């Protein structure tokens, strides 16, 4: 059962999940927090206030008054899209907002100068670098968010996207520490414009690590079934040994209230099934080929996992 984290759903004593678990007539089930909601909450760990406050204030001052808005549009090239106003309804919309603000930064500074407004931060190279970093990193978070959306997204696919992003952040941290900034296009542009700028990598790696740490905490529920998801994605992995099979059977049995030994035997038999192994890379839905008569317990577990919605995206 997927929840949005609201107290009415997740309250320890009177939440919907707790009441369902207490009801003896209610079937056993696993529950977890919506992956998309968790990702957005973890993303909010990123410190954007000192950049967002100024950017938001400036954009609102331009777009909030019709005359100022017309004057600014006249200053822009006719082919340039208009500057978007940021709202906090969807947190990750700030990725596009920050990118657009940075793209138009020179025009914004010129426009503010002409009307007599002085925002010293806009000329501060440290602030500009922070803006560049946040535009880059929130853009990556927004891309992850889009990858998690869609009516046909399974728990397996969504968990894989989260795991891939966490691995990518390790690469980001390594690159920034070595001052290799190719994957941070805005920072790279900032450094090219200001070649003598003293780039301090630590404050950006600290920000990324904080988000990663929040990801680790928030996605703890999915870590509990990660090895199950990996197994059903590719059950013939050569690295799986006897101890892994025992652990898999135990996890399946505990999660879905089934008999451990029967599951263990079915896993072993399946991994030795030449017919299924030959078809595991055929491009077909592998588990549709698995006989429910021959592997009743394992097939039941897999069907339950496949039925899990990873998010409340369509709710």
pLDDT in tens, 134-174: 999 988 888 887 777 766 667 777 778 888 888 999 999 99
Contact 130, 285 (CB under 8 A): no
Structure tokens belonging to residue 279: 């078809």
228 contacts: CB under 8 Å, gap ≥ 6:
248, 251, 252, 255, 301, 305
- What's the count of helices (H) and strands (E) in the chain, helices before strands? 18, 2
207 contacts: CB under 8 Å, gap ≥ 6:
46, 47, 133, 137
Residue 36 is predicted with a pLDDT of: 55
In 3-state terms, what secondary structure has residue 47?
A: coil
CA 311 to chain centre: 12
Q: How far apart are CA 43 and CA 47, in angstroms?
A: 9
Residue 133 is predicted with a pLDDT of: 95
Residue 110 is predicted with a pLDDT of: 87
92 contacts: CB under 8 Å, gap ≥ 6:
40, 43, 138, 141, 142, 145
Contact 268, 245 (CB under 8 A): yes
What are 2's strand-pairing partners? 32
Residue 20 is predicted with a pLDDT of: 73
Q: How far apart are CA 14 and CA 264, in angstroms?
A: 37
CA 152 to chain centre: 17
Residue 86 is predicted with a pLDDT of: 41
Output the CA angle 298-306-15, nearest 5 degrees. Answer: 105
Provide the greatest CA pair distance for the chain.
79
Report which of 39, 30, 31, 11 is spatially closest to residue 216, judged by C-alpha positions.
39
Residue 315 is predicted with a pLDDT of: 46
Spell out, as residue ranges, where the chain has pLDDT lower than 70. Answer: 1-13, 17, 21, 26-45, 63-93, 150-153, 218, 220-222, 282-284, 308-315
Q: Between β-strands 2-3 and 32-33, what pairing exists: parallel, antiparallel or unpaired?
A: parallel
- Residue 116 Ramachandran class (φ > 0 left, ψ -120 to 50 alpha, else beta): left
Enumerate long-range contacts of 286-293, CB under 8 Å, 24 or more apart.
286/235, 287/232
Q: How far apart are CA 306 and CA 89, in angstroms?
A: 31
Report which of 8, 94, 91 is spatially closest to residue 42, judged by C-alpha positions.
91
Residue 173 is predicted with a pLDDT of: 96
Q: How far apart are CA 277 and CA 286, in angstroms?
A: 9
Q: How far apart are CA 169 and CA 246, in angstroms?
A: 32
Question: What is the crossing angle of helices 155-177 and 296-306, to 10°?
Answer: 60
Stated pTM of the model:
0.73
């Amino acid at each position: 059962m997927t929840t949005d984290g609201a107290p009415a759903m997740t309250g320890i004593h009177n939440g919907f999940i707790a009441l369902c678990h207490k009801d003896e007539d209610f079937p056993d089930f696993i529950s977890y927090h919506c992956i998309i909601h968790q990702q957005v909450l973890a993303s909010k760990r990123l410190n954007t206030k000192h950049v967002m406050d100024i950017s938001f204030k400036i954009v609102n001052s331009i777009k909030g008054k019709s005359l100022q808005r017309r004057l600014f549009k006249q200053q822009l090239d006719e082919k340039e899209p208009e500057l978007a106003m940021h709202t906090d309804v969807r947190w990750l919309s700030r990725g596009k907002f920050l990118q657009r603000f940075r793209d138009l930064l020179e025009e914004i500074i010129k426009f503010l100068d002409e009307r007599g407004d002085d925002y010293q931060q806009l000329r501060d190279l440290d602030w500009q670098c922070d803006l560049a970093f946040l535009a880059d990193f929130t853009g990556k978070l927004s891309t992850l968010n889009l990858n998690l959306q869609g009516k046909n997204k399974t728990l397996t696919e969504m968990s894989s996207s989260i795991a891939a992003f966490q691995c990518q952040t390790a690469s980001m941290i390594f690159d920034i520490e070595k001052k290799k900034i190719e994957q941070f296009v805005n920072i790279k542009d900032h450094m090219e414009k200001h070649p003598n700028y003293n780039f301090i990598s630590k404050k950006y790696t600290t920000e990324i690590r904080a988000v990663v740490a929040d990801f680790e905490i928030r996605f703890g529920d999915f870590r509990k079934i990660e090895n199950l998801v990996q197994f059903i994605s590719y059950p013939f992995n050569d690295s799986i040994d006897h101890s892994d099979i025992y652990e898999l059977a135990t996890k399946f049995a505990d999660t879905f209230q089934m008999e451990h030994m029967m599951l263990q035997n079915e896993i072993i038999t399946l991994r030795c099934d030449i017919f299924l192994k030959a078809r595991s890379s055929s491009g077909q839905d592998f588990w549709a080929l698995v006989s429910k008569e021959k592997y009743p317990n394992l097939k039941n577990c897999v069907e339950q996992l496949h039925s899990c919605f990873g998010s409340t995206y369509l709710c």
